């Protein structure tokens, strides 16, 4: 962000620097400049908010300094022989620019217009960070060699090395230093390292004040840090945001996702949200304040494809070909004990599945769980023993087979299931055969009652909360327009259950422009939302099924400002904004909190909280 607070600059892998206006609620794009051909690694503003410097992996050059409003060059940042990783302006006159490079050097440029002055060879490996102190009297560099070096701010004379005497080598850290931040008063420096620590240094005494250890795993590496007047914050490789007390402890950790979110489930009281990602991680969120905890140790070893919640129990299925039942999940905090079925521990139990799971759903009423696998439909119900001796036993309906410490069943079907929905004794299974298969469940018997044909494979199915309606979505069908052109229509089809699964929409629901990934019903049994590959969330109204739906493509209001990851936004009918609900990212999951609030998750690893005017 510019020192004036009016603009934000961002860089991408294509060498583009984009400047955004923060004074407008829509954050208008003011300008785009391609500064070089490769990735932009770092951007810095001058203290008067008039100049920008960007560095990275260009071909002809590795850095560029220019006027932000016109893009006019304001100097030449040549002088280092390999890609530049860091850049910073001196925040006082005489102006200087400092940069760190993969050629192991720190360079200083004087201007404007800026030109090369000299380089410093204090590091033996890549220089990751160069930062000026708030008053510009000093600057510091940090490198992959673990060293942190202080320099005089104008001419660049070396002042001192910051050393940790407990290390075997003369360095600040035992691993690469990825981040460095000055305190707002310039009296301290915080450094973040691959050695899984953040260290706080006293600048005047050139001494280490405190060390904060984050753990032993690779994910605990600290890859970035910033120090604002309100907080000292570091980021872990796992994507966790750590709020640090400068006295030497972690005050709070926000556990989010750094890979696409694949599924979500909401607790019965609507106070807790569970989300999963492509790496198999599951995170528990407090909906009211956004606080989060990652379930640890991990329940699955690969991508989680489905989540369900019933009776204080989280059910998860993943591509490790298991379904796992985790009990007392709301009271367990971030840690659960992972055990196998029939263990004496009631916390978590796993069942090996006969084929790869694709979706899972549970019923609040009877505690039933249905898993749609690549070649099977599997139904679970709680065993009475679970309630009497508090052990995690589960019966599998039909053809129970005991295999070591797990129970499984193989209910082979003639089609390939893709999704599943459950209501009372009815099970709807969407198939790759372009049909919705309706099964009835009686005791331990499953009987196929009806099939609902579509033109293309089914992608999502869901019963309304009262069980009176079923909605199914498909992956699109071709339609001939004026006997010449073909277009794809991605259908959302509502059915009336009590009327024999007849379609009830006055017109075809075909507003999505790409495959529909997910569907969710509102608690009023009237509205439903769909999310798709087209990045949009669309809200449909059964009572006005012939009218234009609400299309969530963006927002005209500023997102709710908060220190957590659930973004509160308010929308109306937005037809003209080009941004999707999850900009440039497919929507992978939806759930209604109430009649007017909706949560969505996407491939962008974001959770968004929408308030919708359905009147």
pLDDT digits (tens, 9 = 90+) for 427-472: 999 999 999 999 998 877 788 999 999 989 999 999 999 999 999 9
Q: What angle do CA 254, 259, 264 make, to 5 degrees?
A: 75
159 token code pair: 């002042």
- Count Cβ atoms within 10 A of the Cβ of residue 228 and give its class: 0-12 exposed, 13-18 middle, 19 or more buried: exposed
User: How does DSSP classify residue 547?
Assistant: S
Helix (H, G, I), strand (E, B) or coil at 389: helix
pLDDT at residue 368 in the model: 84
Q: Is the dihedral of CA 593, 598, 603, 606 positive or negative?
A: negative
Q: How far apart are CA 299 and CA 539, in angstroms?
A: 33
The winner for highest mean pLDDT among 109-113, 288-292, 556-560 is 109-113
For residue range 26-36, list pLDDT tens digits in order.
789 999 999 99
Q: Is residue 86 part of a domain?
A: yes
Q: Is residue 47 part of a domain?
A: yes
Range of the domain at 36: 1-99
Looking from the CA of 295 toward its CB, the CA atoms found within 13 Å total 30
Q: How far apart are CA 351 and CA 409, in angstroms?
A: 10
Q: Is residue 78 part of a domain?
A: yes
Q: What residues are paired with 433 via a beta bridge?
A: none
Q: Is residue 197 part of a domain?
A: no
- 108-122, 363-377, 480-494 — which is least confidently predicted? 480-494
Looking from the CA of 305 toward its CB, the CA atoms found within 13 Å total 22
- 100-114, 198-212, 274-288, 393-407 — which is least confidently predicted? 393-407
Q: Is residue 452 part of a domain?
A: no
Instruction: Report the percentage of the chain scoring pLDDT > 70.
Output: 86
Q: Which string of DSSP letters, residue by residue, matches 449-472?
A: EEEEE-SS-EEEEEE-TTSSEEEE
Q: What is the mean pLDDT of residues 95-100?
A: 98
Q: How far apart are CA 381 and CA 31, in angstroms?
A: 58
Q: How far apart are CA 552 and CA 467, in angstroms?
A: 26
| Statement: residue 333 has pLDDT above 90 | no
Phi-psi category of 8—alpha, beta or left, where left has phi over 0 and alpha has psi -120 to 50? Answer: beta
Helix (H, G, I), strand (E, B) or coil at 385: helix
pLDDT at residue 119 in the model: 98
Q: Is residue 27 part of a domain?
A: yes
For residue range 131-175, list pLDDT tens digits in order.
999 999 999 999 999 999 999 999 999 999 999 999 999 999 999
Question: In total, how many domains does the chain have?
Answer: 1
Q: Is residue 188 part of a domain?
A: no
Instruction: Report the percentage of the chain scoring pLDDT > 90.
Output: 71
pLDDT at residue 483 in the model: 52
For residue range 229-240, list pLDDT tens digits in order.
999 999 999 889
- 41-45, 112-116, 201-205, 247-251 — which is least confidently predicted? 247-251
384's enclosing H/E stretch is helix 384-389
Q: Is the dihedral of CA 452, 455, 461, 466 positive or negative?
A: negative
pLDDT band of 544, cuts 50, 70, 90: very high
Q: Is residue 418 part of a domain?
A: no
Q: Please state, rounded to an integer, the average pLDDT across all residues of the chain.
A: 87
pTM of the complete model beyond 0.85:
no
For residue range 53-75, list pLDDT tens digits in order.
999 999 889 999 999 999 999 99
């Amino acid at each position: 962000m510019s020192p004036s607070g009016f603009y934000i600059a961002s860089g991408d892998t294509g060498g583009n620097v984009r400047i955004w206006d923060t004074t407008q609620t829509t954050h208008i794009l003011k300008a785009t400049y391609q500064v070089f051909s490769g990735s932009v690694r770092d951007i810095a503003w001058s203290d008067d908010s008039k100049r920008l410097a960007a560095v990275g992996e260009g071909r002809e050059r590795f850095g560029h300094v220019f006027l932000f409003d016109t893009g006019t060059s304001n100097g030449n940042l040549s002088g280092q022989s390999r890609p530049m990783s860091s850049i910073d302006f001196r925040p006082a006159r005489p102006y200087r620019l400092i940069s760190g490079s993969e050629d192991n050097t720190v360079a200083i440029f004087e201007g404007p217009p800026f030109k090369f002055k000299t380089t410093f060879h204090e590091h033996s490996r890549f220089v990751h960070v160069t930062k000026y102190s708030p008053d510009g009297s000093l600057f510091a560099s940090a490198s992959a060699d673990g060293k942190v070096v202080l320099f005089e701010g104008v001419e660049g004379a070396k002042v001192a090395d910051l050393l940790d005497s407990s290390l075997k080598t003369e360095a600040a850290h035992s691993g690469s230093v990825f981040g460095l931040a000055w305190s707002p008063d310039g009296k301290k420096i915080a450094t973040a390292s691959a050695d899984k620590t953040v260290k706080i240094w006293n600048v005047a005494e050139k001494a280490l004040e405190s060390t904060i250890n984050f753990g032993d795993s690779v994910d605990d590496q600290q890859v970035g840090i910033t120090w604002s007047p309100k907080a000292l914050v570091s980021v872990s490789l796992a994507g966790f945001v750590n709020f640090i007390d400068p006295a030497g402890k972690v005050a709070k950790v926000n556990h989010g996702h750094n890979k696409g979110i694949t599924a979500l489930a909401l607790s019965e009281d609507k106070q807790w949200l569970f989300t999963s990602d492509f790496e198999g991680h599951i995170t528990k969120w407090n909906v009211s304040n956004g606080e989060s905890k990652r379930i640890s140790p991990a329940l699955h070893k690969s991508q989680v494809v489905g989540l369900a919640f019933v009776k204080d129990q989280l059910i998860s299925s993943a591509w490790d070909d298991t379904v796992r039942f985790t009990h007392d999940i709301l009271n367990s905090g971030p840690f659960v004990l992972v055990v196998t079925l029939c263990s004496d521990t009631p916390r978590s139990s796993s069942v090996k599945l006969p084929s790869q799971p694709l979706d899972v759903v549970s019923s609040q009423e009877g505690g039933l769980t249905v898993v749609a696998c690549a070649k099977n439909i599997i139904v679970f119900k709680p065993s009475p023993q679970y309630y009497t001796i508090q052990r995690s036993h589960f019966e599998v309906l039909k053809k129970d087979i005991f295999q070591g410490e797990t129970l499984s069943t193989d209910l082979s079907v003639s089609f390939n299931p893709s999704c599943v929905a459950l209501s009372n004794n009815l099970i709807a299974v969407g198939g790759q055969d372009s049909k919705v298969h309706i099964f009835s469940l009686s005791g331990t018997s499953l009987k196929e009652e009806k099939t609902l044909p579509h033109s293309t494979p089914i992608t999502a199915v869901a019963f309304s909360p009262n069980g009176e309606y079923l909605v199914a979505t498909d992956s699109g069908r071709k339609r001939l327009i004026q006997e010449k052109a073909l277009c794809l229509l991605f259908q959302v089809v509502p059915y009336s259950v009590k009327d024999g699964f007849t379609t009830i929409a006055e017109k075809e629901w075909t507003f999505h422009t790409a495959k529909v990934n997910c569907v969710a019903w509102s608690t009023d049994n009237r509205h439903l939302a769909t999310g798709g590959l087209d990045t949009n969330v669309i809200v449909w109204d059964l009572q006005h099924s012939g009218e234009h739906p609400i299309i969530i493509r963006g927002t005209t209001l500023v997102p709710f400002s908060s220190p957590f990851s659930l973004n509160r936004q308010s929308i109306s009918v937005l037809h003209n904004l080009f941004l999707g609900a999850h900009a440039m990212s497919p929507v992978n999951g939806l759930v209604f909190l109430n009649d007017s609030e909706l949560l969505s998750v996407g491939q962008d690893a974001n959770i968004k909280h929408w308030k919708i005017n359905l009147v």
